[in-house]
Structure 1
């Protein structure tokens, strides 16, 4: 949302199309003057009759360059800025009528083709879209898509324009997806089936068909089932080999949505495995970018697929051990057989005492090991991870159990804790974020991604246990270190091309490297020192100063600014951004439109909000989070990543952050500007870390000295002060 600018702006006005007799005007555009009056003045200068047939619109920017688009209306005229270039063009009403009639002509095919190109271009504007739809233009467009062929190259270009216009019109949410018919869906599927992956001429058609089918799956409950049943999975997977990045992107997106909507996700994922989907991604998608960065749109779809595949273990993670479940019973009985095969005859232990000893040696906490899997998460997922490790890495499994050690790490207990840590790190059960794009390549072509991660990290856990010379009381400290090791390596993202690389990097990050960081040192210090009364009082005394440092850091990052997606353009095919930053004097928020990866200066951001007027809303109370138009869509705003800044009454600027870190920075900074406290968990953690570091430095001089709980007593006053000596 923009703030109102000055009452007059200086801009250029051209004719459309540019004519030699109509010289461009440098015009003082009065914001408060009615648009028809300004149009009459401009048309009078150019001797143009019937000014009511015309309207102002932004001049098209150069190809590939950012710029404003659309007609000027009473609603958006206050967004005009000095230096804007406008054109006098046919009004949306007249343009919609002329192009509507032209696209239905049965004569010259070039007229129809040019009309469709213009409709595609103008449909991005909501005013034109509304006029065109009111003429039953959408019905006519859908009918043409269903009946037209695309044999020649010109036919293919016209079909691409029709599909593009359809997408643009649907973006305005003026027509419900439920109004589409089965015949329309069948036509889209037929165009996909008849296209070949390497057919570059028809790549725009294929990409748009894939994108529209994805939207139908997300937005139409009536037609989603027919899409799922009508599409042949082979027809989509083969587009992984397409040379077109756009086709690959939308093929990935469609498969991700099909996986999201599948009633039996396990069965659908198994079909993908049987068709070597992961290997095709490795060879033809990720393989194209070995020596360069993966485009963000592709990276997002790979991240989404990774999230969906990891989330397949969510039902197991949320399930306790069920004695009536044969799979659970079979798994719990298989574990000791894998560890002690010589002690079993016909799947039974030689003696009851041997079975009890086996459970103890395996490191279970309870006498009945089934009770160890009652905690959810990780539930019985931990059991199946242990079985996978024992079956696929049997030598490593037996090595961990039987390697000589004075204080052996309890395998079962450690496995359960580790599985819970992995579920937290990889956010099992959470849907993919619309703005995230970080993925681990090794997970994309693995049939059992979480289980394979477990196999590498359980070996790391035992290695760290030995390095720390840990005993039973050190168990939680070991888990803290192991979690830090895993998180550190996982953050390396795209460098983890295989599980062998992942394991090697894990083993390189030793326990000593981890504890060299001050944060981990403080976590491993004796709690009795930090909880003593003198240290607690010192911490309370230092807290306001450290809290001030955290607040300054938050405000400094707001001054640097950040890029945010526009809420109305969350779909990746329509991605648009604005940049927001705080003025150095902390009195004004500046924001304005910009391109991705841009970092505009303060002067380039035209819109301003006085800090004294702002009010912060977070999460589910934000209007863009509550907006029903985003519910159930791919662009749905996650409450934990959204916030809004209210100003001038009920005007609001809506934000969606790509991750929790940026969300914490901005909500903390805005809270400070609103004279409130730091509110994020990240701020609390940073404050605690800085306090620990400051205390550690201050306590260096009393290292190995016992700090008393009470201050030493003050001695009584002396009987006299004769020992005092006054110097003259």
Structure 2
């Protein structure tokens, strides 16, 4: 007698027959159970049958998953996976277009099951699908074929590497085409994403075939499923590519689904992490290029017409004096201030960007502090290094994206140089805070903590504001111009980042 714990009470259905209520003995071989069920309906050849769930994912019952059957489950007696695979393999080659289409549609459904997929692939059915894709021009046939192919490949039974160039070009053509059948485009985007992630050679082929303009166009359509698939492909391309392959990213606005939000978050994280190398690289005092950038900061801030006529000693003395006014702690060798990592060379990048992108604001910052008493000067370089470090922390540069993260910032997708632009705004906010607090050099840490908050709460408030709106900075008037839903306004930058917003 079987023990009660090994008995499961279930129902088994079959079209055209009364259901059977049985007590399934989990210790009895599955083949013996199927034979008993077939005998109950007087069906010959029990080896041609199998049990399958009727609800949810209609998965075949096997010896490996039979323990998942619970009391009250309803199963169905159906074709065995091998028999089903054989029938569909023949059906998709039928000369009758209707039979071929119906077989492909059924194949797309049953291919989600691993047991069936193994049987179908063992007959080289996946290669037959590749051939159909290469030759077919019928949209309905193509939709079912691509879905079936993708479901089979999800199981990881065969490699993506063996796909033909003709097949890859055909799939890419569906993505590059102007709006057509949405189902074809969605599964094509899915296939290309998996190709890119599977190997470097396939990445290069896909990168060569895909038109980036069309891919970005897919990101801007109203169909969020296509948006999500396109974002997943773009993210895969970005993750596999180097920095030189980064493309201009579009602006995303409005509400998005959870999966799309996760893809946007990961894309944002991966892109921002391109800054990690610079953040973790110290300045090389022997690099002529880096020395030139440092002197470029000095020359952009101070008059240097007569510098060439000075003696070497006098020139060194003048340079040291001007680097001190710029706020470098080691004014005789300012590169030493940038040896610490993080922020390393990233701090040099942000300072140079501010000086070259907004020269008037940069000069005003330096000259304004030069006119103050020495003890009240806001040290530009020291502040910039600390500010860059804080930006790295808030933007989580260097941290791998979370598997469940979805906290993306829409403004990221409209700014090519988000890190640098935020720096330009915040360094001026810091200077304004410094001036209104009448701070001294000894107050540096206090100003940093008071301005940004020990937990970055105030500073994050500025980020939250900027990320919620499209914005542009007016560096001459300490204002951030913002817009939302057709309304325009401005944010007046106040002391300690207390922001006053008024809509026009």
TM over 0.5: yes
Structure 2 equivalent of residue 458 of structure 1: 427
Deviation of the 1:91 alpha carbon: 1.0
How far apart in 2 are the matches of 1:145 and 1:324? 58
Secondary structure of the residue aligned to 2:10 is strand
Secondary structure of the residue aligned to 1:345 is coil
1:705-716 pair list within 5 angstroms: none
> Which of these residues, 361, 365, 380, is aligned with residue 329 of structure 2?
365
Contact 1:439–1:493, Cα closer than 8 Å, also in 2: no
Change (3 A) 1:158 1:349: farther
The answer to whether the aligner puts 1:248 opposite 2:227 as a matched pair is yes
> Which of these residues, 105, 130, 135, is aligned with residue 142 of structure 1?
130
Contact 1:486–1:506, Cα closer than 8 Å, also in 2: no
The answer to whether the aligner puts 1:413 opposite 2:395 as a matched pair is no
> Which of these residues, 121, 142, 145, is aligned with residue 133 of structure 1?
121
Contact 2:279–2:341, Cα closer than 8 Å, also in 1: yes
**Bigger mean CA offset, 460-469 vs 178-187:** 460-469
Structure 2 equivalent of residue 114 of structure 1: 102
Structure 2 equivalent of residue 214 of structure 1: 193
1:584-605 alpha-carbon deviations (Å, 9 max, x no partner) = xxxxxxxxxxxxxxxxxxxxxx
Deviation of the 1:58 alpha carbon: 0.9
1:503-542 pair list within 5 angstroms: 510=496
1:355-394 pair list within 5 angstroms: 355-366=319-330, 367-394=332-359
**Bigger mean CA offset, 472-481 vs 253-262:** 472-481
Contact 1:439–1:494, Cα closer than 8 Å, also in 2: no
Secondary structure of the residue aligned to 1:316 is helix
1:297-376 pair list within 5 angstroms: 297-323=259-285, 325-340=287-302, 343-345=303-305, 352=315, 353-366=317-330, 367-376=332-341
Structure 2 equivalent of residue 156 of structure 1: 139
Contact 2:327–2:380, Cα closer than 8 Å, also in 1: yes
Structure 2 equivalent of residue 196 of structure 1: 178
Structure 1 equivalent of residue 485 of structure 2: none
How far apart in 2 are the matches of 1:360 and 1:452? 25
Secondary structure of the residue aligned to 2:99 is helix
Q: Paired residues, what number? A: 470
How far apart in 2 are the matches of 1:25 and 1:495? 60
> Which of these residues, 19, 23, 30, is aligned with residue 24 of structure 1?
19
Change (3 A) 1:512 1:469: farther
Contact 1:103–1:113, Cα closer than 8 Å, also in 2: yes
Structure 2 equivalent of residue 498 of structure 1: 471
1:408-446 alpha-carbon deviations (Å, 9 max, x no partner) = 331101111221222233232344334322111111110
What is the root-mean-square deviation in Å for CA atoms of aligned residues? 3.0
Deviation of the 1:332 alpha carbon: 1.3
Secondary structure of the residue aligned to 1:498 is strand
TM-score, normalised by the number of residues in structure 1: 0.59
How far apart in 2 are the matches of 1:54 and 1:142? 29
Contact 1:12–1:86, Cα closer than 8 Å, also in 2: yes
1:267-289 alpha-carbon deviations (Å, 9 max, x no partner) = x33xx33xxxx3xx32xxx24x2
1:341-390 alpha-carbon deviations (Å, 9 max, x no partner) = xx221886976344322111111010221221112221221112012222
The answer to whether the aligner puts 1:91 opposite 2:80 as a matched pair is yes
> Which of these residues, 46, 51, 55, is aligned with residue 56 of structure 1?
51
Structure 1 equivalent of residue 10 of structure 2: 11
Change (3 A) 1:68 1:259: closer
> Which of these residues, 387, 392, 395, is aligned with residue 423 of structure 1?
392
Contact 1:182–1:223, Cα closer than 8 Å, also in 2: no
How far apart in 1 are the matches of 2:353 and 2:57? 56
Change (3 A) 1:26 1:170: same
TM-score, normalised by the number of residues in structure 2: 0.84
Change (3 A) 1:413 1:348: farther
Change (3 A) 1:337 1:147: same
Deviation of the 1:134 alpha carbon: 0.8
